[in-house]
Structures are given as structure tokens and as C-alpha cells.
Amino acid sequence: MDNPLDPETKRDWQAIGAASGLGFTIVGSLLLCVGGGIILDRWLGTMPIFTLIGVVLGLGAAGYALYELAVLGDSNRGRVRLKKTDTRSQGDSDSRSRR
């Protein structure tokens, strides 16, 4: 019997969790925004306007969720990148200053 908490299994479950979370977020945001637009259109009698606004807002929210997943998946997120200095150029400047 293999260990259920080995790194490969843990990584697989994290990927499944991220994918299902993204799916629920996309479906939920679209249903909420489009459903809200349909309800507002029926209540106010302005049939396609709020439904179309709901579609645009739902797609925007889904796109933002996808962007957040991409940013969270970036391993370099939040790290400060330092510029690498060329050691040869520093050595050349030191030898020039000695002359």
C-alpha cells in the first residue's frame, strides 16, 4: 500500500482542486450575472439590456478568475528579482583603476 500523502499524489489533488474551483467559479459567476440580468430585465421590462450586461460582467468575472489562477500558479510571484552583475566587467574596471 503506497502512502496517500506522497508528493506526486498531493500535486495531483491540488491540480484537481484548482481545476474544479475554477470551473465552479466560472459557472457560478456566469449564472449569477446572467440570472441577475434576466431578473432585472423582467422586472423593469427592458428585455435584452441587463441580460447582455450580465453576460459581459459574467465573462469578465470568469476571465479575472482565470487570471488569478495563472498568477497563483506562477512560482516567481512575489519574489524580488535582482539584476545579475557581470563579474568580468567588474574585474576589468578594477584592473583599469590600478593602472
pLDDT of 21 over the 60 cut: yes
| Structural domain boundaries, residue 46 | 23-75
Q: Which stretch of 2-6, 23-27, 90-94 has the lowest confidence by average pLDDT?
A: 90-94
Q: Evaluate whether residue 31 is within a structural domain.
A: yes
Q: What is the pLDDT of residue 78?
A: 63
Number of domain units in the chain: 1
pLDDT of 95 over the 60 cut: no
Q: Evaluate whether residue 29 is within a structural domain.
A: yes
Q: Using one digit for the tens of pLDDT, what is the confidence trace for 31-85?
A: 999 999 999 999 999 989 999 999 999 999 999 999 988 887 666 666 666 677 6
Q: Evaluate whether residue 71 is within a structural domain.
A: yes
Q: What is the pLDDT of residue 43?
A: 95
Q: Evaluate whether residue 33 is within a structural domain.
A: yes
Q: Evaluate whether residue 59 is within a structural domain.
A: yes
3-state secondary structure the chain: CCCCCCHHHHHHHHHHHHHHHHHHHHHHHHHHHHHHHHHHHHHHCCHHHHHHHHHHHHHHHHHHHHHHHHHHHCCCCCCCCCCCCCHHHHHHHHHHHHC
**Sign (positive/negative) of CA torsion 17, 18, 20, 24?**
positive
